[in-house]
Amino acid sequence: MLTCIILDDEPLAVKLLKEYASAVPDLEIRFAGTDVYKALQVASEGVDVVFLDIQMPDLTGIQFMRIVEGKCKIVLTTAYQEYAVQAFELDVVDYLLKPFSRERFLMAVQKVRDRMSDAATNNQPPCDFIFVKSEYRMLKINLRDIYYLESLRDYVAIHYAGGKTLTLQSLRSFEEELPAAGFIRIHKSYIISMMHIQAIEKKRVVIRDQHLPVGDTYWSEFRQRIPET
């Protein structure tokens, strides 16, 4: 059983999220409303996840996260995409851009479950780096330095602040290893860091002045995460 808080300054948004959450059999709502201080009180008593708006009159979602200090998982629900980078730096589980569907909400719940399952399996703080086997050495790469990963037949090229590294590791294995909050697969050949997106042009993403295509299979989820402007 997962326990949750729903906090939003718009009553209609609270109502919709309650409908979504109530339809999940093993998701228990401990509080749902617009009172940020009541939500903080309930959070201090212990819950698994908070579905949290960012723009609120008394306290912003970012301030809320800093107060709870990682005591519960956070899924941000907002109409504003400009907070995405800051949110991912604060290790949110997911970033839902309004309006979002019931299916997208369920995906966020599953990501919370996956994150909690991983934490239970390995009770250590998440790493902010990966080790990649390249030729005859293991190369350490900081996650925040990675721009995108590109599949090149038998190899995967990792484009990052230190240059480019080739590895025989599959793109699928990187998709499973990299944190979903900061990375997303946009094409059969590309995984990108959302932190480093410069622009979105139709069905292409611009990172470091490189135009990367978004495949039709991945377009729907990508639009939910970062809508076309």
Buried b (16+ CB within 10 A) or exposed e, 18-38: eebbeebeebebbbbbbebee
**More confident call, 187 vs 83:** 187
Element (H, E) at 94: strand 94-97
**The token pair that represents 203 in the structure block:** 């069905």
pLDDT at 80 over 80: no
pTM score over 0.85: no
pLDDT at 146 over 60: yes
**The token pair that represents 99 in the structure block:** 């309006």
Q: Give the chain's radius of gyration (CA, Å).
A: 18
Provide the pLDDT confidence category of residue 56 given band limits of 50, 70 and 90: confident
| Predicted pLDDT at 126 | 59
Q: Could you tell me the domains of the chain?
A: 2-121 (3.40.50.2300), 129-225 (2.40.50.1020)
| Predicted pLDDT at 124 | 54
* pLDDT tens digits along 6-33: 999 999 999 999 999 999 988 999 999 9
pLDDT at 180 over 80: yes
| Predicted pLDDT at 78 | 84
Cβ-proximal residues to 132 (8 Å cutoff; 6+ apart), any chain: 138, 139, 141, 158, 165, 167, 169
* pLDDT tens digits along 85-113: 766 677 788 888 888 899 999 999 999 98
